[in-house]
Amino acid sequence: MKALKAIISVFVIFGSSVGIHPKGLLNPSREKAGAIIPKVILERTRSEEGESYVGIRDITVDESSSIYAFDYINYHIKKYDKEGKLLFTFAGTGEEEGKFFHLTGIRAVKDSILAVDSIGLSLFDNSGKFLKKRPYAQEVLVDHPAIFSDGRFVGSQILADEMVTALIYRSADGKELCRLASYEISEFFPGIQKGEDFFLDNTYARAYSYTISPDGDILWASSDVLQINKFGGEESSLLIEEAATAVPFPDELRKPLLERQARTKPPLFAYVPDRYQIVHHLLCGSEGDVWVYVKSREQTGFLRYSKEKKLKGVYAVKADFDVMKAIVRIFNGQMYFVVNERDRVKVYSAELPGHTP
């Protein structure tokens, strides 16, 4: 049995057909500490890319601020300079060395690039030359893995045999080391029967956010509660916790989703929310500050915490895109936003407030 997620990428790349830019209610006792103002540094359009246009699945940035991006289907890794100029393309789909079966994540480590494929860990130099591959004993299909410099990784994964979505910490050879969290798929998709194939439109279902701290700890959170957990190798402990109330999902946006859900038939299953998830992004800066993007009745924006767990401020993002749907990363004191649209993809960057180069 195999749980297929191909259809999910359609919703993740292009988003819903309905534009969503709802605003939470700010707690008046918490003034904004500042603003994050992203600026476009890279833009590619369907007309430029042709029929091969499939958006950007994820990025990494090296010490010289060169950007490496890979797409959803062809698994080409493209290297851009810090101004967004395309330098060259490498890798891609295939069975030969330096190609991928199902690329899920990349990380720049000094002068090399680590790439987590569903069937193994590959290593390239920063010129795109393939160096070696470490195969996995069995296929591991994770969503946006956070990768350690030695190839270990953590990521969210649908385990069809167990009918759960789990957050799993794995070794460099793909073996499960620890299951940090999990929930039953039937909680959001009660119509699925064990043993059948399925496609999930889980855009608004519970999700896990996770990152790796400069100290090598895994920080993770479930999207339905404002709790940041830390895993240091043995078990998770609660790092940060705050009260947060979910914002109701507007009826005018919920109605078309319900209509679409009514039209879907197995093996496609769609989840329609009655409220927004609370935690949408979890990031860590090089100095150890924790950045959490929250949408709640109390506040909406990035909450910034120090290593000592002290709240340093709430930062609004001044942008014309939906931050909740963007892919957000931090590298070299910059916050990057990847925004996939139907006919173009944009990468934005913004300097982190108070960052010292």
Residue 133, Cβ neighbours under 10 Å: how many? Answer: 16
Report the helix count and the strand count for the chain, using DSSP H and E: 3, 27
Q: Which runs of consecutive H residues, i.e. helices, occur in the chain?
A: 6-14, 46-49, 251-263
The whole-angstrom separation of Cα 276 and Cα 253 is 12
pLDDT for the residue 11: 32
The whole-angstrom separation of Cα 334 and Cα 295 is 22
pLDDT for the residue 344: 92
What are the strands, taking DSSP E only, across 46-129? 58-61, 67-70, 76-80, 86-91, 103-109, 112-117, 120-125
Contact assessment for residue 194 and residue 184, using Cβ atoms and an 8 Å cutoff: no
111: which DSSP letter?
T
Structure tokens at 7: 């259809």
Positive or negative torsion for Cα 337, 350, 291, 126:
positive
The torsion angle over the Cα atoms of residues 350, 354, 356 and 357, rounded to 10 degrees, is 0
The whole-angstrom separation of Cα 342 and Cα 54 is 9
Residue 324 backbone phi and psi in degrees, to 5 = -60, -30
Q: Look up the pTM and report it.
A: 0.90
Structure tokens at 219: 């920080």
Burial degree of 172 (CB within 10 A; 0-12, 13-18, 19+):
middle
Domains of the chain: 6-349 (2.120.10.30)
The whole-angstrom separation of Cα 203 and Cα 20 is 13
Q: Which is it for strands 268-270 and 236-241: parallel, antiparallel or unpaired?
A: unpaired
pLDDT for the residue 30: 53
In the chain (357 residues long), the average pLDDT of successive 10-residue segments reads 38 30 39 87 84 84 97 93 95 94 97 97 98 97 97 97 97 98 96 90 95 97 98 94 97 96 94 97 95 97 95 96 98 97 94 80
Residue 163 backbone phi and psi in degrees, to 5 = 60, 45
Q: Given the structure tokens 């709790």, which residue do they identify?
A: 227
Cα 252 to its chain centre, rounded Å, is 27
Cα 286 to its chain centre, rounded Å, is 19
